[in-house]
Structure 1
Amino acid sequence: MKKLLIGTIVAGVVAIGAACSNNDSPHSSMQGHDTNMNMQEENTAKNSSGQLPLATDTKVLTGKEIHLTAKEALLQINNKVKLPVYTYNGSVPGPQIRVKQGDTVKIHLKNELPEPITIHWHGYPVPNSQDGVPGVTMNAIKPGETFTYEFTATVPGTYWYHSHQESAKQVDKGLYGTLIVEPKNEEKVDRDYTLVLDEWMSNPDEGNMDMSGMDHSSMEHGNGSDHQHMNMSGMSHDMSMYDIFTINGKSGSAVKPLKVKKGEKVRIRLVNAGYMSHQLHLHGHEFKIVATDGQPLNDPQPIKDELLNIAPGERYDIEFTANNPGEWLLECHGDMKGADGMKVKIQYEGEKGSADKANATEDLPVVDMTSYGKQKLGEFTLDQKYDVEYTMNLGTAMGKNGMIYTINGKTYPETAPINVKKGDLIKVKLVNDSPTDLHPMHLHGHFFQVLSKNGKPITGSPLIKDTLNLKPGEEYVVAFKADNPGNWMFHCHDLHHASAGMVTEVKYKDYKSDYTPNPNDTTNKPE
């Protein structure tokens, strides 16, 4: 099963392997443009030999009422590797849910898997009751049950959805998809593609072991990442067992090319649903980073031959003009074995040109998002008055049952929550004290503004995010407004870190939930 490193939940499951919406044909935001998606119907039952059906190509689901069914299937990653997976509607990634800003959307989720599940709307400010965290906002959806999520799509942008029940395991097995909210006054593009990044194991049985006590080390995948290993109670655990990197559930030549025509404006939505950071290089074209985590950047400047670093849970929208006919690559840089499979061809229709060559080890600079775009005054500043200030020291330690990941020396649920009232302005200092671990920190239900990095104020566009990656030794200050009452998780999106303790909550003092968890119900496993 996918990267199935099922040890104990607390120190156990490695990896977030996720990914999402596969727009096999371009989905255009222009009315009347051909959106010829593969609408093949999937066979949900096992065949006569008892084997699972093959996962189908991902669809795009539109409208105000969406039906999802969680079920098992087999995913053909390349011409050699086929893995058993969990799916939404028989595909990995699951369907792309594409709605209009202002729509009230109902998503009916039926569970045909052998274990409880949920959906969390990653990055989206849904009402707290719809956040999909078992034991915090709802009970997990048991096998055979159906649950309906309902929310109004108020904020446009690129988001994704995934299970939050034993998420280090279930997201790893394929329970994810993308959510696109189209703005009312959308700037038109000719092609709109979504690419989701993930990592898989071609021989998962090698990873089916007790992972207690492991140090996952630095999961940054890029130039100079020469320490991709883990330490299990003194044993070295080679991260190269994650030997297949994918785009939309496919690797290498199985990844479908992105078709463009000369002169077209092309948007690519990049979603990292895995647990490693990936550095991507767009060959042959200038591009702009127009949004991060769904939020637009102010006056982004064209850049070329710079790497875009995408951490777990993050999203980046890039745009370029197809003005250089030929066959080009968007490829992952780095020295891990799987990097070779994480690339996609960009092919011009009706134009001749030279074929591009891969060069995953080319030494290129990484885009500095703290100085990218044009500076302007954001909603928050470093020196204004805040109602609540909180320091979050992120650490790694050895617990009695193995490695733990801590916030201010504690593991969830013993971590101190951020207690707020509606309308409060909150400033949070995040410090990564772990010696080797990356911590992509994700806040549910809110967006925050990044104010400074390592003591230096942000000098580019206001940076509004819901997921922020901290490398060892880094310090960021972020701010947000308490404008969405509820009890909200704030956790590391390297999901095995969350399952081993790196979680706290933003708790509204004046919020009364309609949901009361049953302390005797052991079904709910929020990480």
Structure 2
Amino acid sequence: MNGTLPRIVLAAQPSAGFDYELIVAPANVNIVPGGSTPALSFNGGYPSPVIRAKQHQPVRIRVVNQLNEPTTIHWHGMRIPIGMDGVPFLSQTPIMPGEAFDYEFTPPDAGTFWYHPHMNSVEQLGKGLVGALIVEEAEKPDFDEDLVLCMKNWHINDDGSFTALTTPQNAFRMGTPGRVMTINGQTSPTYEVPAGGAIRVRFLNVDNTVVYMVNSTDPDAQIIAIDGNPIAQAVTLKQHPMAPGMRLDLGVIAPSKVGETITFKHKNNPLVTLTTVASHLENRSLPKLPLNPIPAPDLDNAETVKFAFEWNANITPIKKDGKVSYNFWAMNRRSWEGMSKGHIPAPLATLERGKTYIFELSNLTQYHHPIHIHGHTFTVLHSNKKDIIPFHSDTVLLGKNEIVTAALVADNPGRWMYHCHIIEHLKTGFMSYIEVT
């Protein structure tokens, strides 16, 4: 990395030659009946536009900031160059009000990903700046329906006005819960699917806080991909935890009779229902997804790096303006100091490019923490709490007192954000970065 940040361009310039343009601006949206919510939006509404890219083909996206504050866009789960990662000051200068930024990258991996700002995250994500990024396989599998389902628990009252997005009492626990659980901005929606069809169901947890426990009324529903990465052998869905930032692709064969249903739930709460409509499909089977080209870790020559995630019990400091500076969480006894132009703290760890590392992730708290790394993909190897068949993931969910080992090949140079994806934890200490030299 040479320290040069990508250029900012003015929003007034023409947008010809771009695959997508995202206008970031306030907008009133309808989430609850009869109520209007003063949200922040991409292109004037919610759900946000689904961006569809193609594996191994470049995609160009112009982001225009019409907020009254800076923003950036991070492409969650993507192994792309550092200059396109969307972290303010670390990888790009913030997109100021009235400016635009051109993102261009070539996805090496196919699957289910998403996009969101990495500035003022509690508010910008909490008020609606979240969207799905689907990278289609170089050779597209033959599904009869492909559903993209963004899970978001809105912090709103019955009239649509916002409740508190965060409170200190909740930030040092599991985060502040919302009141209205939605799929694509609707409460328990129903989608029509062809009877007897092979259906791909993509769940994306774009919430700030909630850990969903996904299950299905279909006993034959199959897990086919985790966090955008196909698994070598499909696994029958029983109940799968999905923390903020995580994705889950399921495959189902729809019932053959018209009017029959499959319901997916969070615990016992219905999330979304599929209902069958007439089709001529018969004897369908689930297509097999091609594996992504994740570099294989060299475990025999790997170096182990230990990370302890724990509660910060220090006395909460008071800033010069008299306001409380809440820092509840620490990684290796260090709470994130924040960063700004000209002030980038030291990395939490420095990795040698091309070398394999085993991250030992130790959760020393009583709460769940989804640990997300930018620009790389983990190969999750082992847990002291549950049996694991190794799989690829960019967001590793750690349970209470759980220790997970996960390997990665440090093949992408740059300064990569590394944090808990419960947004209130991120904002109160659980964030740092890894430098690959």
TM-score normalised according to structure 1 size: 0.69
- Would you say 1:411 and 2:335 are equivalent positions? yes
CA change 1:332–1:155 in 2 (3 A) is same
- Would you say 1:481 and 2:409 are equivalent positions? yes
Partners of 1:142 and 1:84 in 2: CA distance: 21
How far 1:494 sits from its partner (Å)? 0.4
| Residues 293, 316 of structure 1: 8 Å contact kept | yes
- Would you say 1:394 and 2:394 are equivalent positions? no
Partners of 2:156 and 2:122 in 1: CA distance: 18
Which residue matches 2:320? Answer: none
Which residue matches 2:243? Answer: 311
- SS of corresponding position for 2:104: strand
Output one character per residue of 1:476-508: Cα deviation in whole Å (capped at 9) or x when no partner. Answer: 000100111110011000011111111121112
How far 1:333 sits from its partner (Å)? 3.3
Which residue matches 1:441? Answer: 371
- SS of corresponding position for 2:63: strand
Task: Supply the AA of the counterpart residue of 1:173.
Answer: K
Which residue matches 2:265? Answer: 332
CA change 1:153–1:139 in 2 (3 A) is same
CA change 1:99–1:247 in 2 (3 A) is same
CA change 1:390–1:72 in 2 (3 A) is same
How far 1:455 sits from its partner (Å)? 7.4
Deviates more, 1:71-80 or 1:128-137: 71-80
Task: Supply the AA of the counterpart residue of 1:277.
Answer: V
- SS of corresponding position for 2:59: strand
Which residue matches 1:504? Answer: 432
| Residues 415, 503 of structure 1: 8 Å contact kept | no
- Pairing 1:92-111 to 2, within 5 Å after superposition: 92-111=46-65
Which residue matches 1:366? Answer: none
Which residue matches 2:381? Answer: 451
Which residue matches 2:104? Answer: 150
**Candidates 429, 434, 443, aligned match of 2:360:** 429
| Residues 106, 151 of structure 1: 8 Å contact kept | yes
Q: Kindly report the root-mean-square deviation, in angstroms, between the aligned alpha carbons of the 2 structures.
A: 2.4
- Pairing 1:66-215 to 2, within 5 Å after superposition: 66-203=20-157, 207-208=163-164, 211-212=167-168, 214-215=170-171
How many residue pairs match? The answer is: 386
- SS of corresponding position for 1:496: helix
| Residues 285, 320 of structure 1: 8 Å contact kept | no
How far 1:345 sits from its partner (Å)? 2.1
| Residues 144, 194 of structure 2: 8 Å contact kept | no
CA change 1:91–1:264 in 2 (3 A) is same
- Pairing 1:351-362 to 2, within 5 Å after superposition: none
- SS of corresponding position for 2:33: coil
Partners of 1:273 and 1:475 in 2: CA distance: 25
Deviates more, 1:131-140 or 1:315-324: 315-324
| Residues 255, 261 of structure 2: 8 Å contact kept | no
Output one character per residue of 1:96-144: Cα deviation in whole Å (capped at 9) or x when no partner. Answer: 1112112111111111111111100000011100100001111111111
Gap runs ≥5 in structure 1 = 1-62, 220-229, 231-238, 352-377, 510-527
| Residues 155, 181 of structure 1: 8 Å contact kept | yes
TM-score normalised according to structure 2 size: 0.82
| Residues 385, 402 of structure 2: 8 Å contact kept | no
- Would you say 1:287 and 2:218 are equivalent positions? no
Answer 1 or 2: higher relative contact order, Cα 8 Å, separation at least 6: 1
| Residues 100, 153 of structure 1: 8 Å contact kept | yes
Output one character per residue of 1:65-102: Cα deviation in whole Å (capped at 9) or x when no partner. Answer: 21111111112113144311111111223111112112
How far 1:155 sits from its partner (Å)? 1.2
| Residues 213, 403 of structure 1: 8 Å contact kept | no
Which residue matches 1:297? Answer: 231
- SS of corresponding position for 2:196: coil
CA change 1:424–1:324 in 2 (3 A) is same
Which residue matches 1:268? Answer: 201
Which residue matches 2:291? Answer: none
Which residue matches 1:46? Answer: none
